[in-house]
Amino acid sequence: MNSLTLTLADEGATLALGQALARHITPPLIVHLHGDLGAGKTTLTRGLVQALGHQGAVKSPTYTLVEPYELSGMQVYHFDLYRLSDPEELEFMGIRDYFANNTLALVEWPSKGLGILPEADLMVEMAYLPTGRQAILSGMTERGLDVIKELAP
């Protein structure tokens, strides 16, 4: 199975998916989070980052572009590229340094970094349903496919 389609009835279900991902992730892993504003990308990230041990709030780093966390012995970077006007800006912030061996990268609005942002291992597409949300998870590399395998019911 290369992808997994899930219905998330409420915010709690989105957080629970983040928690499930936390259990099956081993770095290095790059996760791209697609979806419209309000689709639940940050909520999913919050479930994941808090399950890895972060105690505080998790907000989209819209203006700072990236929020770093050091959790469970790994380096976690939460990107939000919504405000990026040109993928080249990623070069200026030294994007390559963020993708080291022990890193989990979670990237909202990866389309804004197209061409410079490293490719995803795991792609998550969040979308609105009449009630709740849909999440489609796709493994783009062997490492991403392993996560899908572990998550699949």
Q: Does 11 contact ligand ADP by CB under 6 A?
A: yes
Nearer to ligand ADP, 43 or 50 (CB): 43
Contact stretch for Mg ion (CB under 5 A) within 25-33, 57-65, 131-139, 140-148: 57-65
CB of 125 to Mg ion, least distance (A): 14
Exactly one of 29, 30, 32, 35 binds ligand ADP (CB under 6 A); that residue is 35
Q: Does 50 contact Mg ion by CB under 5 A?
A: no
Q: Which residue's entry shows tokens 């469970």? A: 72
Q: Site residues (CB under 5 A) for Mg ion?
A: 41-42, 60, 108
